[in-house]
Amino acid sequence: MTIPNDTTFLNMTRERWSVRKFAPEQISDEHMARILEAGRNAPSACNYQPQRVLVLQSEEAIAAVRSVTHWAFNAPTVLLVCADLTESWKNADGADSAEMDATIALDHMMMEAWECGVGSTWVRGFDERVMRQVFSIPASWKIVAMMPMGYPAENANPSSWHFRRKSLEEICQVL
Ligand SMILES: Cc1cc2nc3c(=O)[nH]c(=O)nc-3n(C[C@H](O)[C@H](O)[C@H](O)COP(=O)(O)O)c2cc1C
C-alpha cells in the first residue's frame, strides 16, 4: 500500500497508520534528513532540547535491535529515541520534562516520515534494561521509544486498531 499524497496536516493525522511491514530499500538520504530535521525543530521545555536520537541502520545495529525486540519488524531503519536527563527542564514540583520533550520530537519525526512516504510504528515493546545494555546507553539517558521505519511493503495494511478512535465526546470536555 502506498501513502496518499494529500499531506495537509489534519489529513495526515487522519490517514497515518502504523506500518509494520516494509520494502527492503533503505530510506533515501533526503528523506532521512527531513525526518531528523523535524525532530530537531520540535519544541521543548525551556528550549533545553534533551532529545537524543540513535539512527540504527548498519547490519550490526539492525541485528542488535532485532535481538532485543520483535517489534523492530523488517524495518531497514530504526530510530531509538532517548532523553538526556542531565539536560531537561525540571519543574519546581519535581516533574521532569525529558520524556515529554523526546516524545514530541518523535511525533514530529513520525509525521514528517509520513509526509515523505515513509511508514513507521511507534514502539515501546522492549525491555529498557536490555536495550540500554545492547546499545551502551548512558545511565543519565531515559530510553523513551523506538521507531522502526521504511517505505511500506506493497502488502502492508493498517491493523484494525487504526480504525478504532474514541469520539471527541469521550476524550474532550469543554469546561
Ligand atoms: C506509546 C506507544 C507505544 C506503542 N508500542 C507499540 C509496540 O510495542 N508495538 C506495536 O506494534 N505498536 C505499538 N504502538 C502503536 C499502536 O499500537 C498504534 O499507534 C495504535 O494501535 C493505533 O493504530 P495506528 O497507529 O495504526 O493508527 C505504540 C504506540 C504508542 C503511542
> pLDDT confidence of 5, banded at 50, 70, 90?
low
Q: Which residues are within 8 A (CB) of 15 and not within 5 positions of it... i.e. 6 or more apart?
A: 4, 6
Tell me what pLDDT residue 3 has: 65
Mutate to test the pocket of ligand 1, among 19, 20, 68, 123 (most ligand atoms within 8 A of CB): 123
Ligand 1 near 107 CB (within 6 A): no
H-helix or E-strand spanning residue 82: strand 77-84
Centroid of ligand 1 to alpha carbon of 17 (angstroms):
9
25 is written with which cell numbers? 530499500
Tell me what pLDDT residue 38 has: 98
Centroid of ligand 1 to alpha carbon of 77 (angstroms):
17
Superfamily of domain 22-152: NADH Oxidase (3.40.109.10)
The pTM of the full predicted model, rounded to 2 decimals, is: 0.95
Is 143:124 a contact under the CB 8 Å cutoff?
no
Domain spans of the chain? Answer: 22-152
